[in-house]
Amino acid sequence: MDRPEREATAPSGAEGPAAQAPKPTPAQGRQPWGTVVGFGLVSLATDLVSDGARPLAGPLLAQLGASALLVGLVTGAAEAAAQGLRLVFGPWADRTRKYWTFTIAGYTMTAVCVPLLAFAPAAGAVGLALASVLIVGDRVGKAVRSPAKTVLLASVAKRVGRGRGFAVHKALDLTGALLGPVIVAAVLAATGVLSAAFAVLAVPAAIALALLFWLRRRMAEPGAEKAPTGAAAAAGSPPSLFSGVFLLFAVCAFFWSAGLVAFGVISYHLTTAAAVPVPVVPLLYAAAMGAAAIGALGSGILYDRMGPAVLLTLPVLIATVPVLAFSTGIALVLTGVAIWGAATGIQDSTVKALVADLVPEGRQGSAYGVFAAFEGAGALAGGALYGALYEARPALIAAVAGLQVAALVLLLLTVRRARRA
């Protein structure tokens, strides 16, 4: 627990520690909420860029002559890089303790790669290759920054409550994810030109980098103190991530991720079985992002009051999604979409707060990389599950329910061990 700072009260000219108090670090003496909100605004602006561009990746590649197979390979490789490479950059950030370096590098990659897609149609024969590299580069930037940025956020959020800190950050992040596609759609409606839609994203990209460098001046590097060496290092070395309560929680994440259907499958059902018009689908996704923000905020506040037990609701929510979202009644489908959004918001905010509380600060970057790998593996298994059992709805619902029972049991064990710790 951070100790409150005290101002020196020694009279002028007095000797002693009070008169020689060290100057505060950039992160000290300032309102931590300002830094939390600052990180949220950086994520908002960056998601305007990245999520604004993602729906247009397929149309752009098709315009440049790509086949459906190539579109699938490029976008699949991009998402695989966004998750899998965190296993590389998380431990790397921990070893070097250069969390700001990785954070700035990752955000810069997105801020540069996405607006440059505007030039791909004018690049002639190399346009398709250029667009493919830039699309993957945006998601590699996500992998570079995510573990390090989350360590920075966890460091400052513990002063306000990690549950609430991560929740407010995620709410702002989701605002960008909602507004980005809306802005891009408006530009396309006005111009009908894909290049113009990508070019306009240079504005929020520049804002994101400006905010990020402003935050860098406010906040010092976490764990900037010199690491112990020799016998002290051996005595105080943190335990392996692949033992204890963290690994239990990561395995739990695999099971709930395997049951949480991707929105692409839900949108497929909406348009083919529920007779929802295609133009309405983005609006439903926006509504799901609103539910995600509410889920993140609500679970974050309760996490700071109740502890990790609040996460016991997550497998229950996930188990209800296929029951409702894959029905044919529009009211049930809309309810399922809202629950899907709430579960996504909890997974992307309060879950990260517990990860930060389960591992030593010097291993948080590695922990987020490992945890993302478990979630990504679960999502891959879940995609295969939903694809294989979509037509056999009762079997699909039963399979998801079984996965969530396993997740709930593991989560109960995680909560008990976390409380003991």
Measured distance CA(151)–CA(135) in Å, rounded = 26
3-class DSSP state of 126:
helix
Measured distance CA(302)–CA(344) in Å, rounded = 17
Measured distance CA(393)–CA(396) in Å, rounded = 5
Q: What domains can you pick out in the chain, each with its CATH number?
A: 32-221 (1.20.1250.20), 240-420 (1.20.1250.20)
pLDDT tens digits for range 139-198: 999 999 999 999 999 999 888 898 999 999 989 998 998 888 888 888 888 888 889 989
Whole-model pTM? 0.74
Residue 298's pLDDT is what? 94
Residue 234's pLDDT is what? 39
Give first-to-last CA distance, the chain, whole Å. 15
Q: Which residues contact 24 (CB under 8 A, 6 or more apart)?
A: 5
Closest residue by Cα to residue 171 from 296, 304, 291, 286: 296
- The amino acid at residue 92 is W
pLDDT tens digits for range 83-139: 889 989 999 999 999 999 999 999 999 999 999 999 999 998 899 999 999 999 999
CA 215 to the chain's CA centroid: 19
Tokens representing residue 367 in the block = 């922990």
Measured distance CA(66)–CA(320) in Å, rounded = 38
Report angle CA 259, 299, 288 to the nearest 5 degrees: 55
pLDDT tens digits for range 327-383: 888 889 899 999 999 999 999 899 999 998 898 888 888 999 899 889 888 887 887
